[in-house]
Structure 1
Amino acid sequence: MDDTTSRTNYSVPPVERALKLLHYIGDGQRARNLSTVSRDLGINRTTLIRLIHTLVEHRMIEELEDGGGYRLGAGLVSLGAQAIEGRDIVHVCRPILRDLCLATGMSAHLGVLDGRDIIYLGREAPNSHLVSNVRTGSRLPAHASSIGRAILAEFSDARLRQIFTGDPPAQATDKTPRTLEGILAQAHNDKAAGFAWSVGNFEAGIGSCAAAVFDHSGQVVGGINVSGPEARFADRDPALIDAVTSAARDASRALGYSRR
């Protein structure tokens, strides 16, 4: 039995409908008009009402004032925080990010790969107005972000082709690869360098440097970066590169990685 058949056989429709509704609200839809929500999600209106009441009761969503609809609730936020806190990589990297932030004077981040995206699990920011807007929980296209590039650089061409087969890759700026072949070339360059260096690749005016983090089995499990004003990245500062790659090595060692 393949994975697709297994997922189909063991799927629970009520749970799927609840998850669809949570994603719908999480994407910014306030679900004010239940008839519209019913049509958008393909869920019977009566079933939808029951789902909403159940999710409200369990604090997964909460009702806004003055008929403003719904938003994700404190119960879901708490559950998400528990999931994040349960990741060893988060605990390991928190003090490392703090030290990296202090050493460079820039925002330091931890991210992991999810499909074609990077999810940010940790962030340390300096006491400055010139800091990154990325927050814990943010998602960015992997091939356009420095952390994503550092992770993708550790993959084989076959795996990269598998990840990016289908829809064209998202376009962030004119520096973002537009094709699969462009992503492969970028990954080869980043692998050869040992880090990913960005000067406005994802966002104009913002630069970044990232390196991959490995676990005890030698698998890449995430990436660490610093980001800040583009001017700081005009030249490939060896001290900055060393700070980032050293932080990633420290995180890898703490996760049990030993380069053979």
Structure 2
Amino acid sequence: MDSQDNGSGPRRKARGRPRGWDDKTAQNTIKSLDRAMEVFEYLSEEQGKALSTLSEEMSQSPATVYRILVTLEGRGLVEFDHDEQVWHIGPKAFVIGSRFLRRTSLVDRARPVMRKLMEATGETANLGVEKEGSVLFLSQVETHASIRAFFPPGTLSPMHASGIGKALLAHMDEDRLDRLLAAVDLQAFTDRSITSAETLKKDLASIRAQGFSVDNEEKNTGMRCIAAPVFDINREAIAGISVSGPTSRVSEAEIERLSRPVIEAAHQLTLAIGGTVTLPRS
């Protein structure tokens, strides 16, 4: 039997969003709220700002910025340091952010990013994390090409002979890196495998500087992989995203071109999980 609403007809199913959801024109936005969020986001990046400094840097009147800050303060989203006379992000912002992180799944967030990466490059996209000194592959979006890389979820691979592995090693704390290298055998899988800790560290320094790593037939002859790290809120590399394919398609001449969408995908996934994008460093 259909549900009735005061006898006037079938009750409509609750809608998750209204008509015109995709209409982002001014008529569907709240300007004052948008302005408040601008102040909130700016303060989150530039904490410890005086009212006059915020007003000047954001080209907003002091009165407007003050009203916004006081409103946000009432919700615990910002707080005022009376001794220093500056504003900071408040504890409620952390609480809300933590709720977002609790619902965030790395694999779920990665799937659309990986799909776009595969379509942009034409090569198989992979997602992996470090697990007890090895790379654990969590997800893969395969290319439609007949010859392709295959790393099913659950596959383990040595970090020193993996694009994702080297991307993670390059951003690992030095003490932890030394402990890990001392505990593993840098096995030779091909004549291109890196078997010296000193040589590997030089490669890792280059990876940090350029923002991506390359498995240059170091695990399997005829296969090449390009990877970039994914960072969490603490700027720690917690995962890697990559594309893999035969050297006939992923040639040395193509590395630079293919690295750009890989780095962009890593940045997108970093932001999608609430992380902080970390730029290449020497």
Match of 2:174 in 1: 157
Q: Is 1:253 the counterpart of 2:243 in the alignment?
A: no
Moved over 4 A (4+): none
**C-alpha distance after superposition, 1:15-59 (max 9, x if no partner):** xxxxxxxxxxxxxxxxxxxxxxxxxxxxxxxxxxxxxxxxxxxxx
Work out the CA distance in 2 between the residues paired with 1:94 and 1:174: 34
Question: How far 1:87 moved relative to its partner?
Answer: 7.4
Amino acid at match of 1:137: G
Task: Kindly report which structure 2 residues correspond to 1:159-238, keeping only aligned pairs within 5 A, or say none.
Answer: 159-231=176-248, 232-238=250-256
Identity of aligned residues (%): 28
| Partners of 1:109 and 1:225 within 8 A in 2 | yes
Structure 2: which 5+ residue stretches go unaligned? 1-102
- Within the alignment, does 1:239 sit opposite 2:257 as a pair? yes
- Please say if 1:107 is aligned against 2:127: no
Identify the structure with the greater helix proportion: 1
1:160 deviates by 1.1
Q: CA deviation at 1:173?
A: 1.7
Structure 1: stretches of 5+ with no match in the other structure: 1-85
Which amino acid letter does the alignment assign opposite residue 179 of structure 1? S
How far off is 1:255 after superposition? 1.2
Tell me the CA shift for residue 183 of structure 1. Answer: 2.2
Residue 228 of structure 1: SS of its match in structure 2? strand
Report if aligned partners of 1:107, 1:126 keep a CA contact under 8 Å in 2. Answer: yes
Note if contact 1:218-1:257 (Cα within 8 Å) is conserved in structure 2: yes
Counterpart secondary structure, 1:95:
helix
Residues 168 and 179, structure 1, Cα contact 8 Å, conserved in 2? no
CA contact (8 A) 1:208 1:233 kept: no
CA positional deviation for 1:219? 1.3
Q: What is the rounded CA distance, in whole Å, between the counterparts of 1:229 and 1:252 in structure 2? A: 27
TM-score, scaled to structure 2 = 0.59
Distance in 1, Cα, partners of 2:182 & 2:223: 29
One-letter code of the match for 1:244? Answer: V
In 2, distance between residues paired with 1:128 and 1:259? 32
- Structure showing greater radius of gyration is 2
Find the residue that maps to 1:129 and give its secondary structure.
coil
Q: CA RMSD in A?
A: 1.8
